Structure 1
Amino acid sequence: MDELMKAYVRFAGLARLWLAAPLMAGTLSAGAQTVLTDPTKPPPEAMLAPGAESVPAAPAGPQLQSVLVGAAWRGREVAVIDGEIVRRGETFRGAVLEKVGPGEVVLRKNGKAQVLRVFPETAGKENRK
């Protein structure tokens, strides 16, 4: 009886591995091919003004999705641009990430600076109460 239990436990363990292997392989390969998107961002249709008929066009340039700025001097300065993690001083599509601040970053390419904001549609607007 002892040998029968050992054989059953061995078989059950191998069966779990055999069943889990294809699932794990599919998860790993699917994760490597997907682009990171903001799961909390509403669909473009939700951004329409009342009475508007078409979806606003997507911005032509890169999109700043997130910024992480450390509190300490020379702390962590990281941006997520078009789903790609970029640290200050690294390059993104040929442009150097020059400055990382709360809500915006500066990319420099061929001597020209490009400012990206997390919320570009509110840039320059004042908060009125």
Structure 2
Amino acid sequence: MSARLLLCALALAAQAASAQPLPDPTRPPASLTTPAGDAAAPHSVEPQLQSVLIARHAGGRHVAVIDGQTVRLGEQFRGARVAQMTQNEVVLVKGRERRVLRLFPRTPAPQRLNERD
């Protein structure tokens, strides 16, 4: 009886050891938690739009959070001016370069399987 119990315990321990942890959705981006100048730090080419807050009344505040940094309409983010904000997008302009950050990035449409008659 104890041999079965030991075998079950070993099987459960092996299963737990091979399980992969799920990423924490509340954890800040790695770029915020890695010290500046760290060579091992991952460098994000595309800034991540995390939140957009637009006041309901005309002339109200427009605020966005990009890579953990709060910016207002007209302010600078990494050398680019925050030119436009909508509920789902922020437009950054730097010289002639225009970059649109989306809160919900577009995903490719799912491919249809060939239907047989």
Q: Which runs of 5+ in 1 are unaligned?
A: 1-36, 42-57
**Deviation at 1:114?**
0.5
> Which residue of structure 2 lines up, in the alignment, with residue 101 of structure 1?
86
Paired residues, number: 72
Of all paired residues, the percent bearing the same amino acid is 47
Structure-2 change in CA distance of 1:38 and 1:90 (3 Å): farther
Residue 38 of structure 1 contacts residue 65 of structure 1 at CA under 8 Å; is this kept in 2? no
Distance, in Å, in 1 between the alignment partners of 2:25 and 2:60 is 25
Residue 26 (structure 2) pairs with residue 39 (structure 1): yes
> Which residue of structure 1 lines up, in the alignment, with residue 58 of structure 2?
73
More helix by share: 1
Kindly provide the amino acid, as one letter, of the partner of residue 83 in structure 1. Answer: G
**Deviation at 1:40?**
7.8
Distance, in Å, in 2 between the alignment partners of 1:59 and 1:121 is 18
Picking from 82, 85, 92, the partner of 2:67 is: 82
Could you say what the CA RMSD is over the residues aligned between the two structures, in angstroms? 2.6
| Moved beyond 4 Å, runs of 4+ | none
Secondary structure class of the residue paired with 1:107: strand
CA displacement, residues 52-83 of structure 1 (integer Å, 9 cap, x when unaligned): xxxxxx96211100000111111110000000
> Which residue of structure 2 lines up, in the alignment, with residue 117 of structure 1?
102
Distance, in Å, in 2 between the alignment partners of 1:60 and 1:113 is 15
Q: Which runs of 5+ in 2 are unaligned?
A: 1-23, 29-42, 110-117
1:12-31 matches, cutoff 5 A: none
With the length of structure 2 as denominator, give the TM-score of the two structures. Answer: 0.54
